[in-house]
Structure 1
Amino acid sequence: WLLPRIIGMARASELLYTGDTIDAATAKDWGLVSEVVPAADLMDRAKAVAAKICNQAPDVLRMTKQLLRQGMLTNFDTIMEMSASMQALAHHTDDHKEALDAFFEKRAPEYKGS
């Protein structure tokens, strides 16, 4: 279900019918991965990306994940309505206030997930 949506029906068909494998550069070109790093740097890079994600507001990150998933299943108008609703919810969180305070105080925000 997901593979043809990411790389297209022709590429997905060829991969699945032939059993061929692709290299990392091709996977990146086709949109299957967002970044390719040398094997020796993989764990450090993965930890850096994970740390960056962990520095985001947890509630808003959950909403973003939900919108991304729903975006694959629904039409444009519906996802825009959902986005507007979630944005309104996000504006009422303590983390939103913290983001604004941190911005004006020129410091990194400290999100708590509320």
Structure 2
Amino acid sequence: MSQKTVLLEVKDAIATITLDRPKALNSLNDELVDDLTETLEKVKKDDEIRVVVLTGNGKAFSAGGDLNYLVSIEDPICARKFISKAGNIASLVITMDKPVIAMVNGVAAGAGFNLALACDIVYCAESSRFGQSFAKVGLVPDCAGMFLLPKAVGTHKAKELMFTGDLIDAKTALDLGVVNKVFPDETLREETYKFAKRLVRSAPISLSLMKKVINKSGDLDLDTATELEADLQTICMKTADHKEGVKAFMEKRAPVFKGK
């Protein structure tokens, strides 16, 4: 592999993963999918990393699948393998035990839209646009889109967005619950890292367990949910972080959590 299509920078316990095919609007081909998978696996195993920021280089977060690459795949077995690998990216983001923030700096279309949805928090620039563009090119949503979008916006709105492939602007995305916050383009990066630093200071075990349960909440009944809460709370109560949190509260200072 000559040159990576995904960049990784780690600073102050924050990993920044940047899709780096700007001339192709960070669209997904086999190389980028492999590079992103490798990077996510690396970040997942690094205990020094507390928070992950996912973004794109250039004018787009990601325009989705690289159409030129997709039409070049003639073997259906190879096509299925590629789409499965793209779905695995979403799975890696969702199941990672660290908070992942999507910093959407431009267009997020197709699989790019769904990759943003896979993240725990979505911040975007005012100029960002979101679109489930699959139907316009005779495809169905992938990268876990048909699982994620209905959870975010409801069944009927998800069908509308997917059936039409219409682009929506940042304000509409905010109103629908697709994104958490919208910022002026020039302050997006500053605001994203300000929030990431807040999460770095949070108790990592707590955040990890919250993420796992919330992601499964749609599959839990009340009794199962309360039993699970009891189990996990018991675990948390025995951690050094809990003791530190209580001590810091009593001493009226900020806690220093170590993930233990």
TM exceeding 0.5: yes
Alignment pair present for 1:103 and 2:245:
no
Partner of 2:198: 52
| CA distance in 2: counterparts of 1:38 and 1:112, whole angstroms | 34
TM-score by length of 2: 0.43
Partner of 1:93: 239
Partner of 2:173: 27
Deviation at 1:61, TM superposition (A): 1.2
Partner of 1:12: 158
Instruction: Choose between structure 1 and 2: higher strand proportion.
Output: 2
| CA distance in 2: counterparts of 1:50 and 1:88, whole angstroms | 27
Alignment pair present for 1:81 and 2:227:
yes
Deviation at 1:101, TM superposition (A): 0.6
Matched AA of 1:3: L
SS of residue matched to 1:36: strand
Alignment pair present for 1:68 and 2:198:
no
Deviation at 1:79, TM superposition (A): 1.5
Give the number of aligned pairs: 114
| More displaced 10-residue stretch of structure 1: 29-38 or 64-73 | 64-73
Deviation at 1:111, TM superposition (A): 0.5
Report the RMSD for the aligned CA atoms in angstroms.
1.0
SS of residue matched to 1:22: strand
| CA distance in 2: counterparts of 1:75 and 1:25, whole angstroms | 34
| CA distance in 1: counterparts of 2:223 and 2:169, whole angstroms | 37
Identity %: 39
SS of residue matched to 1:72: helix
TM-score by length of 1: 0.94
| CA distance in 2: counterparts of 1:39 and 1:78, whole angstroms | 43
Q: Encode CA deviations 1:5-46: one digit per residue, 9 max, x unaligned.
A: 221122111111111011111111111111111111100011
Partner of 2:186: 40
Which runs of 5 or more residues in structure 2 are unaligned?
A: 1-146
| CA distance in 1: counterparts of 2:183 and 2:224, whole angstroms | 37
Whose RCO is larger (CA < 8 A, sep 6+)?
1
Matched AA of 2:225: I
Which runs of 5 or more residues in structure 1 are unaligned?
A: none
Q: 1:6 touches 1:31 (CA, 8 Å); kept in 2?
A: yes
| More displaced 10-residue stretch of structure 1: 72-81 or 37-46 | 72-81
